[in-house]
Structure 1
């Protein structure tokens, strides 16, 4: 730099001590403020001051939230989606989806390994068991299963269970067949 530009920033002028650390930062801040005043822009202008109502007026805040929960606190994604589903009238469909999507968590791993929900129509949940023995066992536990399902998804979503065993094998072979039992009626 030349002499007519003045001393470089951070280098001492004649008779001044060399500035370091905090003193250098303080001097740079003072020079920046002076440049801002010279350009006509007041220091601190351009950002809203919370004391003058700028940010508070935009956000509608009044004071601190305090120790208790508040709507301004961070919310979990589950609570936000639940509130959205409730406001849009999707709560029933979400509860139905919970029955199918979280079946092992709702009824337990043992039962879920041997039974699968098939459909939910007008509060009647159709469950298909892997064997007739499991279907019988689930019919005996029907009251407890309904209590578990209602605790997980809410009252009224599932009002009753229709439990069925596996489908019987079909004896029909080929495209053409006759009505009735056919050749099996000669066994025995």
Structure 2
């Protein structure tokens, strides 16, 4: 069995690999994903999401065409904000937008369930009138079920 010449720490291997492949520069660019609401602000972050960086071009999903147009008009300012927040020497060179309708869906409001209302008594005169109305039905089970349904509807 061969004895290794020198033991190398794994963190130094990763550091060397990152430096050799220049991943540290690329990793700095991707900080925009982690800090999106801080970079663009809450209102824009609600309607957008960074998708991918290809080269130095950032692709952003936008909720609808109106927001896409607005952001396209503010593209230079947005690019400056993004690059100000990105550390490292490499910067985002361009921004491209694409529509993703799922971003624009309204957030569902969860409401607490209302306590059930206490059942109101059925007016006996109205019930008698309905019983006369369904009295012509020959099937007794059908009459019983119709009466139960009517009672439920009139609570």
Relative contact order: is structure 1 or structure 2 higher (C-alpha 8 Å, sep ≥ 6)?
2
| TM-score after normalising by structure 1 | 0.40
